[in-house]
Amino acid sequence: MRRGAIVQLALLALFFGGITTAVAVIPNWLPPSAAEQADRIDFVFWYVTIICIVIYAIVIATLVYSAWKFRVSPDDDSDGPPVHGHSGLEIGWTAVPFALVTSMAIVSAIVLARNDRTGSHPLRVDVTAQQFAWTFTYPDQHKLTASVLRLPVGRPARFTLRALDVIHSFWVPEFGQKQDAVPGTTTHVTVTPNRVGTYPIICTELCGLGHAVMRSTVIVMPKAEFAAWVNKSGKATSGGGAAAGKAVFTNEGCVACHTLTAAKSTGKIGPDLDKLSTYAQQAGMPLEQFVRESIVNPDAYVEKGYPANVMPKTFGKLPKAQLDALVTFVVDSAKAAK
Ligand code: CUA
């Protein structure tokens, strides 16, 4: 009789545990991990989830079994037998949860501590967030700046985040961590990408009208490819003249928002740069002065039909040689397009 009850309870627990496991595993709740830190976070997630599934299965099985076996018959009005304390049971249901919760805390603490380790030679990346764009600067790689993040696989990257206006939050789902960028202070996060690929960068703090479009891309590339990109971009943007300006135009992500035939870009969010000569006339300024002002202080003149306060104001902080090259390239291209 007793053994029969235990077998029935166990079968019920297996049944409910199976359903719960299927709900946890089949829908692919989590994005595939692309960083060592995300692997560790996933481990904590599954460690806690498995414990929860086991406890849930035992509790539900006991509940269903009791409702099924000990149900009173409809005409039975008598009270159940009085139940007093059961020391063994009480010690058990205190000790087991204590041990489980403590083990979760220890596992989490170990993962948090390890995820913060940067190693002795991390790649430093400065992240600037502002309504509504991301800018990435590599202080040790010719101060290269870009709006698309490139990272070498297998090397810890130490991000230093700054915000120019309101609070933003840096999130790559595949990297498993979020970090706020807060005006007036700097925050940090470490990521060691371990899977080559292209992943989205998402602002995950409501920061204004353009919050939903404050997105970029991170490209995790083999180490040699990253070194080649640094080398090429460093040379390309430091050479000066229109060729360097074209590299700056592409690196800075101007292509995402603007159409410019010379750069083969077809963005539609900002004004069509092939028409810059006309815009300059409307603004009553010489073309070159107009282009420079529009890059450094984009809201000084806003073309009709386009929203103000959308173009990032970080471009004024480009190294002077890069800014000059960018102006030269845009002016030359606009003249050619006329
Ligand atoms: Cu920046 Cu939301």
Q: How far is the CA of 208 from the centre of ligand 1 (A)?
A: 7
Q: 148 with 134: CB under 8 angstroms?
A: no
Task: Please state the atom number of ligand 1 nearest to the C-alpha of residue 206.
Answer: 2
Gap between the Cα atoms of 27 and 25, Å rounded: 6
Gap between the Cα atoms of 328 and 262, Å rounded: 12
Q: How far is the CA of 307 from the centre of ligand 1 (A)?
A: 17
Q: 145 with 137: CB under 8 angstroms?
A: yes
Q: 170 with 179: CB under 8 angstroms?
A: yes
Q: How far is the CA of 134 from the centre of ligand 1 (A)?
A: 9
pLDDT value for 1: 52
Name the token pair of 262.
Answer: 């010379």
The owner of tokens 């290269």 is 144
Q: How far is the CA of 75 from the centre of ligand 1 (A)?
A: 64
pTM for this one? Answer: 0.72
Gap between the Cα atoms of 280 and 59, Å rounded: 73
Q: How far is the CA of 318 from the centre of ligand 1 (A)?
A: 22
Burial environment of residue 51 by CB neighbours within 10 A (0 to 12, 13 to 18, 19 or more): middle
pLDDT value for 338: 62
What residues line ligand 1, using a CB cutoff of 6 Å? 129, 132, 168, 203, 205-207, 211, 214
Q: 201 with 171: CB under 8 angstroms?
A: yes
DSSP H helices, 71-215, are 87-115
pLDDT value for 279: 87
Task: Please state the atom number of ligand 1 nearest to the C-alpha of residue 211.
Answer: 2
Q: 236 with 132: CB under 8 angstroms?
A: no
Q: How far is the CA of 193 from the centre of ligand 1 (A)?
A: 23
- Nearest-CA residue for atom 1 of ligand 1: 168
DSSP 308: S
- For residue 278, report the phi and psi dihedrals to the nearest 5 degrees: -65, -45
Gap between the Cα atoms of 266 and 276, Å rounded: 15
Task: Please state the atom number of ligand 1 nearest to the C-alpha of residue 129.
Answer: 1
pLDDT value for 167: 96
What are the C-alpha distances in Å from 157 to residues 116, 219, 225, 261? 11, 13, 16, 35
Task: Please state the atom number of ligand 1 nearest to the C-alpha of residue 214.
Answer: 1
Name the token pair of 142.
Answer: 């010719």
Gap between the Cα atoms of 105 and 215, Å rounded: 34
Q: How far is the CA of 311 from the centre of ligand 1 (A)?
A: 14
Task: Please state the atom number of ligand 1 nearest to the C-alpha of residue 131.
Answer: 1
DSSP H helices, the chain, are 2-25, 36-69, 87-115, 223-238, 241-251, 276-283, 287-296, 320-337
Write out the chain's pLDDT in tens, 338 residues: 578 888 999 999 999 999 999 999 898 888 999 999 999 999 999 999 999 999 999 999 999 999 988 888 888 888 878 888 889 989 998 999 999 999 999 999 999 999 988 888 899 999 999 888 898 999 888 778 888 999 999 999 999 999 988 999 999 999 999 999 999 999 999 999 999 999 999 999 999 888 998 999 999 999 999 999 988 887 777 667 777 788 788 777 787 788 888 888 877 778 888 888 888 888 888 888 888 888 888 888 888 888 777 787 778 777 777 888 888 888 888 888 76
pLDDT value for 195: 95
Q: 182 with 160: CB under 8 angstroms?
A: no
